[in-house]
Amino acid sequence: MMDLGGVIPNRPIKKESWKTVLTLAYQSLGVVYGDLSTSPLYVYKSAFAEDIHHSDTNEEVYGVLSFVFWTLTLMPLLKYVFIVLRADDNGEGGTFALYSLLCRHARLCSLPNCQLADEELSEYKRDGVSSNSKSFLKSTLEKHKVLQRLLLVLALIGTCMVIGDGVLTPAISVFSAVSGLELSMAKEQHRYVEVPAACAILIFLFALQHYGTNRVGFLFAPVVITWLLCISAIGVYNICHWNPHVYQALSPCYMYKFLKKTQKKGWMSLGGILLCITGSEAMYADLGHFSQLSIKIAFTFVVYPSLTLAYMGQAAYLSKHHINETDYRIGFYVSVPEQIRWPVLVIAILAAVVGSQAIITGTFSIIKQCSALGCFPKIKIIHTSSKIHGQIYIPQINWTLMLLCLAVTIGFQDTKRMGNASGLAVITVMLVTTCLMSLVIVLCWHKSVFLAVLFIFFFGSIEALFFSASLMKFLEGAWVPIALALIFSLIMYVWHYGTLKKYEFDVQNKVSINWLLALGPTLGIARVRGIGLIRTELVSGIPAIFSHFVTNLPAFHQVVVFLCIKSVPVPHVSPEERFLVGRVGPKGYRLYRCIARYGYRDVHKDDIEFEKDLVCSIAEFIRSEQPEHVLGTNNMENDEKMTVIGTSSSNIQGVAMCEDSDDHEDSSEIVCSKSPEKPRRRVRFVVPESPRIDTEAREELRELMDARESGMAFILGHSYVRAKKGSNLMKRIVINYGYDFLRRNSREPTYALSIPHASTLEVGMVCLV
């Protein structure tokens, strides 16, 4: 379930001890490098799938090894470890983190309800965003909406390819791991065992997701470390036993000889070679769980040397065993000594499961980010751990990924086509990262355009070479990530477009403040005890739904709160800055606006906690409402003054947690429940006889207390979005069919699911956009 509440921060510690760094580096081996470490299972088999025959000079084997070594060196080590990891979004990484970073620095916001007050968040200031800094690139992006849309589409493409990788990586990893069975049975029989075994492991893997990785997470690092030690030892054995001079293949000249000799087949084999860097993006995407230094240490001193030894060992073995008749026996297991083949098979399967688990969890995380930033429909999100940040489970996505994984495994039944598909997804994500990083270098790091061009030219050229080789295999499996990316991109863009148009309709049809003032404090109807909570996307003005209630109902609540739950383009919002609270109209109207702000990586608490925090924030606003305390922004239409209020757990001044007591005669009390299982506690807003709090404020607090005791009613607007007359055909299809289908199948607001039906009032409205 997607809950509403606070955040469990898990940011990198700025001054870390070496013990902390090494502990994080150890943990990152299991979470970050599971996918990358299992790539030796299928790289050589995919590279030699183009009928490349071995010659006595071994130029083909040495050429592949040279490509693998320099690809590992230039992409994960040079690009990610030394450059991309520095572009963190306040400790967070990934495609959407880069996009969020650019949005803040170039003042581009995909969210329609952005406010100037959001730029006062500590996350903005800590990032060093300067509103005064101007550059030609920045002003160009801010002026042209087309460029902003292209930037959003680029981020969505990269995100969708990561989701596609979440389908392909478990399939190829598990299938390659169980392919070791082919050496212990006849060629005609092993296919009938491999596919069912791979499917059974995949079903078991996805079925365990709802338990959360925290239940089995302690096994991840030991499994990956055992696997890395295993392939390193096998690599050293093969080098010493078969070809001690294989290190000569690390020379770049062997890449030229390989392409010169194999020509088109060698160029197309690059699509298999690039699989050696699959999982590299996880170093950046999982940055929020660890620290830059820990990830750098783990890769530089453990993963990189282990993979290099493993690939050199395989090349040493193949250089002495020329197998030209078929690719059947070219793979990882053929280079494993026969005496230890079965133990290695077991370790490989466990490592493949760990690597698949990491990419599945990463897919859940990126779907949550997209949903928070308004680019994906609201879906059910379950937090599987109350202590470990980012461990979530999304049932619909989990079972969708499982079905797609099984379809790929059963449909392809070989690593060649799976590798072609996975390779295209991997290299596309890297290309998107390179493009976004070039903008970060100029807009965020304030470096020269020359450095950005040099970055995109150097790494972009390498990635374009791999991309072209992968694209040539479109009909041999590479169409799968493209099809998946198109489907998910279409869903995301339709949802984002429909959400934006609906917000524009709400803004255009909001009620004037003059209409409210003309009604008077009673709003022209009877005001009954209780709190009326009206959910709206508007951050200013009065939503049109409120006028419907006032004109059609004989009575309304004595306290009305316009609640806006919004996401901001930062990873986290601290509890001290959670709420913006202000008044709508004069004091006597008892109308409040409360804006709850969340970052795209925030972990949410339960609804009861949120309800308590909401009421406490309004009470604290009333208590502290003095001219010198009112900070915030002016909304142009209503001239509302918004005050930053923290959650009740972070708000110490004026709020005390205490047990039931009737000792304080001159105080206002609001009963809040911590959780359904725990006994009810009282949050007491102490109102002492002090000149700082006048009689009017004390009376208003008592009214709020009475209203809270009488109960809270939730007023939900059910909007039916339709394209207005005169709209073009494409817009009518997107709004009337695409967005409407997604809206009807998306999750309702969280509080609508957990509150009693007797406390809910739902009204339908037709929005013509």
From the number of C-beta atoms within 10 Å of its C-beta (0-12, 13-18, 19+), residue 119 rates as middle
Lowest model confidence (mean pLDDT) among 450-459, 506-515, 536-545, 667-676: 667-676
pLDDT averaged over the chain?
80
Task: Please tell me what DSSP assigns to residue 14.
Answer: S
Give the C-alpha separation, 680 to 696, whole Å: 29
pLDDT over 70 at 253, yes or no:
yes
Closest Cα to residue 115, out of 636, 705, 769?
636
pLDDT at 480: 94
Please name every residue paired with 668 in a beta bridge, in sequence order, or none if there are none: 685
Give the C-alpha separation, 267 to 263, whole Å: 6
Q: What is the mean pLDDT of residues 374-389?
A: 74
Give the C-alpha separation, 386 to 102, whole Å: 31
For residue 577, the one-letter residue type is: E
The gap from C-alpha 221 to its chain's centroid, in whole angstroms, comes to 23
Element (H, E) at 103: helix 95-105
If one counts every other C-beta atom within 10 angstroms of the C-beta of residue 330, the result is: 21
Please give the angle made by the CA atoms of 167, 7 and 81, to the nearest 5 degrees: 55
Closest Cα to residue 493, out of 150, 722, 745?
150
- pLDDT tens-digit map of 221-249: 899 999 999 999 999 999 999 999 999 99
pLDDT at 12: 42
Residues near 618 by beta carbon (within 8 Å), at least 6 away in sequence: 561, 581, 592, 594, 704
If one counts every other C-beta atom within 10 angstroms of the C-beta of residue 189, the result is: 12
Q: Which residue has the higher pLDDT, 389 or 696?
A: 696
pLDDT over 60 at 698, yes or no:
yes
For residue 486, the one-letter residue type is: L
* SS3 readout for 163-206: HHHHHHHHHHHHHHHHHHHHHHCCHHHHHHHHHHHHHHHHHHHH
Tokens standing for 120?
Answer: 């006062």
Q: What is the mean pLDDT of residues 166-174?
A: 90
Phi/psi at 713 (nearest 5 deg)? -105, 140
pLDDT over 70 at 163, yes or no:
yes
Rounded CA Rg of the chain: 29
Task: Please tell me what DSSP assigns to residue 65.
Answer: H
Q: Burial code of 62-73, b = ≥16 C-beta within 10 A, e = fewer?
A: bbbbbbbbbbbe
pLDDT at 252: 92
Q: Burial code of 612-639, b = ≥16 C-beta within 10 A, e = fewer?
A: bbbbbbbbbbbbbbeeeeeebbebeebe
For residue 576, the one-letter residue type is: E
CA distances from 265 to 14, 50, 62, 118, 272 (A): 49, 6, 16, 54, 11
pLDDT over 70 at 336, yes or no:
yes
Beta strands at 382-383 and 681-685: parallel, antiparallel or unpaired: unpaired
If one counts every other C-beta atom within 10 angstroms of the C-beta of residue 553, the result is: 11
CB-based contact 592:619 (threshold 8 Å): no
Residues near 696 by beta carbon (within 8 Å), at least 6 away in sequence: 587
pLDDT at 426: 92
Orientation angle between helical segments 395-412 and 145-178, nearest 10 degrees: 60
Lowest model confidence (mean pLDDT) among 185-199, 372-386, 741-755: 741-755
**Which strands make up the sheet holding 555-568, listed edge to edge?**
643-645, 579-583, 591-599, 555-568, 526-535, 712-722, 760-768
Predicted TM-score (pTM) of this structure: 0.81
Please name every residue paired with 670 in a beta bridge, in sequence order, or none if there are none: 683
pLDDT at 762: 73
Q: What percent of the chain has pLDDT over 90?
A: 27
> Is 91 in a helix, a strand, or coil?
coil
